[in-house]
Structure 1
């Protein structure tokens, strides 16, 4: 949502944002930088954790500082500082230019030459080095943006936060069979001011929350145990999410019964099943097999040393059959309450929504300005992000989402169409290879489906496939009424490592003939 200046945190606005930026950018220009940008951030992160309705840990930290990034003589330079004076900002800009000069010398000595495609068995790979150029972006002067929320969680007394978590924990502990309950709330507020030598300047504020409760049941006769988490996703919302934005009481009241049934459920018979997958599980499969695979830096091999590559290589753009023709996937930096939703990215690029997969065909990637220019795209789609003022922006994931079927069926109607299958609810563990191709996922709850009806829970269920086989087996999508925006606070990438929060929306969906494993049998092999 666009914001008026008074919507922004006044203590952040009281900092000398413009003066520091002007000092840094003027110094970078004077030293011959072709491009320079300045980013001042204040990131506040807090955590409240309870064990069996008693507080076990809390934290509340703030990271405040700024960074200057430059392109000088075709090379990157970056430096960061915490001294909020004009002289210090100018010195940091000078350090960034000095780093760019050093980088240019290192590249020249290494003989990397210009960036160019190089044939390999994985499609075209790209070598590092060469002149840094950025895709064009319209100038956005004096823009402000605040994420969509009603109540700032940092304005709510800590006693009220822990009190609500304790009340919910006690509710679970009072249920028969529940032995232990863990509860936690994560909260973050990001304030960013960005300015560059082209004339763009943006001031932004984001709020996000992740509440979570986990109940544990123990069979006293056998010592066997099971655990189950709430399905409520993390969101780009405020305190209102915990006081009326989700059916917390209903979910907490149902959890003990679900947990007891799971504890006595039979182990799954491995084999081929039709799967009905709830959004609370499918979001994670999207994240791992589509979200990461369509990051262009991965597809070009730039992340191979740490985060991995992608089977969806750049030479397959427009031709790779990613999944069935009903598959429509978008990258989106504008979704309301999305964890990766912004007004402008950390390169001054305005938020957008675009196609990644259309009718089952790979049609796009997630880009920053360098990658866009390098590969011939006219513009970045706004995927540059740094998780700290001391980190350089890198290409990070947008809200990558599978679109529902217009006027599509309910989850119950999808289940009714399955003769022999399994209905999967909630995310649990995952495993996927470095190319984002071979994977295995588990869930919080799995229900046998027999003749269109749920026939009780199963244990030890995991589904295994390759990315293209899995998405190619998708035969039905739920309607908009089944669509849920899931997500995570802790997506990791880059060296040094950075963490980003991201959402993934999807409807319920049906997949035919997916290989199901018994995790207990697999572990015993």
Structure 2
């Protein structure tokens, strides 16, 4: 049964605040104005070796007014929930736009802010897909489950320490603009994680093994049976950790790789997700983490990867961390192609960037992480599509004579243009004669984005598809954090360079 918006959020004076702010912006000559109330509640629990080691539960509540006035942006925010205060904040936003227009003119620029058209969506309500709001579950029950899982791991031979965390978020947004769109939304997400650590008594060497369960736009049911097999994963971790601790170092060289979706999602995030943000491609996002090699002049021609590569941007995927009903500019959620048949065919857009680049409409990628921040272009759920009727992971492995099978994300590094990178994994298995032949250590795969995706020979079927993701994708200055998911199947890559990281560190 679908959930309804939290009544305590609906009890706030949402419409009176919006009416006052938008009316004031109109009276001051704004060409466009939008008003946004945000309430974000975030909580975390942390256990060390089965004992509580920290907890937090915070709520951030406020509102923001953004305007286009005289062809310039203006923005202001407030926390006083009265119509008079909202009107004053709108006046401050217009004053900021006037100042911005003068600064822009003094710099010799005649660029004006214009927004791509968007249909008016009336009064819309949207709630994400979940069964049990984690904030309805007592903290004692949450802590008890994490403690029980930690104890299970600690009771296994070879496990010396266990860290357990649970992060939960409920995000409420109310949006209204001068065109007539009004949206009220609620999203729930959570991220449970356990890490087991083993220490060799003779040498002091240590290794860790983390659960692979990704963060998800789900509720408490994610930890109690829906969406992930926790029993199986917890049972396997001690043996996997022990094998990893005694595993030999990898021999550097070129290998065929079968990459599990629990690892590949992060490579997608860094080398495709960020690289296809159009503000980067146009040079409007350059300071925080660079631009992109996938420049706008290459749209429709850049060979991103092999012809089996099909990547979508999606704000509609069920349980996706970047899934919404409407973005923070009142744009309805959509799904679209970014890479089709290996060629760059699309970007992620907000309304200003869409109009600037000649697109008829935004695809709904504006997001602000709080009322105190202005919406910026943020990542959708960017996902590699599986092959209909495609092979199982075991079949992909069977097609490799000498290679590696990579599982789980770990560390990563990529340059500012999202082109040269290296990634590691939770664990890597040697593949010999189409069979797994034990774990290896000290490995990283290194490539350029186009070489890596160009080497992709096969993708798995829908049965191999898993949606990974992150709670804390960073962008903008001041910095903002956004949650985003990336789905993908297992995939086979030929001739990828593997580094021995221990040797590299010793150079």
The partner residue of 1:60 within 45, 57, 62 is: 57
Structure 2 match to 1:37: 34
> Is 1:411 the counterpart of 2:393 in the alignment?
yes
Distance in 2, matches of 1:304 and 1:343, equals: 29
Structure 1 match to 2:128: 147
Structure 2 match to 1:127: none
Other structure's SS at 1:7 match: coil
Distance in 1, matches of 2:147 and 2:478, equals: 37
Other structure's SS at 1:178 match: coil
Other structure's SS at 2:160 match: strand
1:40-119 counterparts in 2 under 5 A?
40-113=37-110
**CA-to-aligned-CA distance 1:184-208 (integer Å, 9 cap, x gap):** 0000000000000000000000000
The partner residue of 1:162 within 123, 127, 143 is: 143
Distance in 2, matches of 1:244 and 1:145, equals: 25
> Is 1:449 the counterpart of 2:431 in the alignment?
yes
What displacement does 1:112 show?
Answer: 2.0
The partner residue of 1:13 within 7, 10, 27 is: 10
Moved over 6 A (4+): none
1:195-344 counterparts in 2 under 5 A?
195-245=176-226, 246-344=228-326
Aligned residue pair count:
506
Structure 2 match to 1:389: 371
Other structure's SS at 1:211 match: strand
What displacement does 1:306 show?
Answer: 1.5
What displacement does 1:303 show?
Answer: 1.3
Distance in 1, matches of 2:272 and 2:134, equals: 32
What displacement does 1:249 show?
Answer: 1.4
Distance in 1, matches of 2:288 and 2:435, equals: 44
**CA-to-aligned-CA distance 1:445-492 (integer Å, 9 cap, x gap):** 100000000000000010000000000000011000000000000100
Distance in 2, matches of 1:7 and 1:305, equals: 40
Distance in 2, matches of 1:71 and 1:456, equals: 60
Structure 2 match to 1:123: none
Other structure's SS at 2:316 match: coil
Distance in 1, matches of 2:342 and 2:216, equals: 28
1:452-491 counterparts in 2 under 5 A?
452-491=434-473
1:174-193 counterparts in 2 under 5 A?
174-193=155-174
Structure 2 match to 1:116: none
Structure 2 match to 1:511: 493
Distance in 1, matches of 2:44 and 2:438, equals: 36
Distance in 1, matches of 2:289 and 2:42, equals: 25
Structure 2 match to 1:171: 152
The partner residue of 2:21 within 15, 20, 24 is: 24
Distance in 2, matches of 1:472 and 1:276, equals: 14
The partner residue of 2:327 within 345, 362, 367 is: 345
**CA-to-aligned-CA distance 1:229-273 (integer Å, 9 cap, x gap):** 000000000000000122111101100000000000000000000
Deviates more, 1:240-249 or 1:135-144: 240-249
TM-score of the pair, normalised by structure 1:
0.96
Distance in 2, matches of 1:52 and 1:249, equals: 19
Distance in 1, matches of 2:7 and 2:215, equals: 26
**CA-to-aligned-CA distance 1:291-323 (integer Å, 9 cap, x gap):** 000000011111112221000000000000000
Q: Which runs of 5+ in 2 are unaligned?
A: none
Other structure's SS at 1:364 match: coil
> Is 1:438 the counterpart of 2:408 in the alignment?
no
TM-score of the pair, normalised by structure 2:
0.99
